[in-house]
Amino acid sequence: MDLTGTLLLKRNDVAKLLTIDECITGVEQAFRLHAEGKALPPKILGIHSEKGGFHIKAGILGSGKKYFVAKVNANFPGNSKRNGLPTIQGIIVVCDEDNGRLLALIDSIEITIIRTGAATGVAAKYLARQSAKNVTICGCGSQGKISLKALMKVRSLKRAYVFDIDERSAQRFTEHFSNELEVISVKKNDLVMALRDSNIVATCTPSRQPFIRGEDISPGTFIAAVGADSEEKQELFPELVASNKIVVDLAEQSATIGELHHTIEEKRITIAAIHAELGMIITGKKPGRESEKEIIIFDSTGMALQDVAAASIVYEKALACKMGMKLNFSEQPGDRYNFEVLKNQKDFQALKAWFPFR
């Protein structure tokens, strides 16, 4: 057993280690294990601040080696303009479930983006029409990009309409995917046209006001509602949610912080209106799409077991290819600080400056 310290992994490390394909596989398995009762119920804690908020998501998966994973994320939607910082920032803690040993500290940004996109891909695999060709992506940041990549893994898409209030982001998005499919950037006045021409819609914005109505959506559309992951965020009008089939990642969580939350608050439906959690459809306990015309909404609030699945992949691959740096947090006072430099001398020197060496 390797007892030399805790592995430290940056965002760039995660980007090199975690592919959307293996994350889709890992996340699908996490939903399956949860539905089969083979994973402990994941937990979430949210705390608001003046200009954003913080949440902690934690869970353990029972497949193979068991890891306890806890993610602490800050979510500050105005960060880019105000501070030049990412909207999402945080850290993921990976521990050995058997003995509590601190195995790794991993930057949370890339894992959060990829595992969320993976959940969209998994949901589309089971809920979108097989013939789906056109998609609308609302929100052209990192989450919008990974969502389209995930959707392209599970459906043979031909055209993507992309919308963002920042037209420069939409243009960059268009250029990024221009060699893979037809990409059309639309402005606000053309969004309804794009939505009506789409078989799949993914909303990946920090909006606090709904902007998609029931009349905007064509029969047979699959909607991945990704943006609403706190009580204040909302992208879909409640009448759209209330009148169509609702699939969620976690029922209680969606009823508290998802699109479902707003619809329940308006007393249009109760939590009993949920058709199924996604894991129940994956395991065959509930049917998925039952007709070509039904509109299905996936309320994606982010299940902690998605983080467990993704972080486990990253940690094990990092060990296998010797990526990252190790630091022993358990050193006793007076002991030598023991750094194991695996890669990146620049990072090592920066970290070394904070710790005395003898």
Contact 129, 292 (CB under 8 A): yes
Q: In angstroms, rounded to a whole number, what is the distance separating the alpha carbons of residues 195 and 161?
A: 8
- For residue 342, what are the CA distances in angstroms to 131, 145, 326, 336, 346? 47, 31, 8, 18, 12
Distance, CA of 306 to CA of 314 (rounded, Å): 12
Q: Are strands 222-225 and 200-203 parallel, antiparallel or unpaired?
A: parallel
CA distance 39 to 62: 5
Neighbours of 93 (CB within 10 A): 20
Is 286 tagged catalytic?
no
Dist CA 94 CA 64 (whole Å): 15
Which of 10, 38, 65, 66 is catalytic? The answer is 66
Give the span between the Cα atoms of 143 and 154, in whole angstroms.
17
Sort 356 into a burial class: Cβ within 10 Å, 0-12 / 13-18 / 19+: exposed
Residues with a known catalytic role = 66
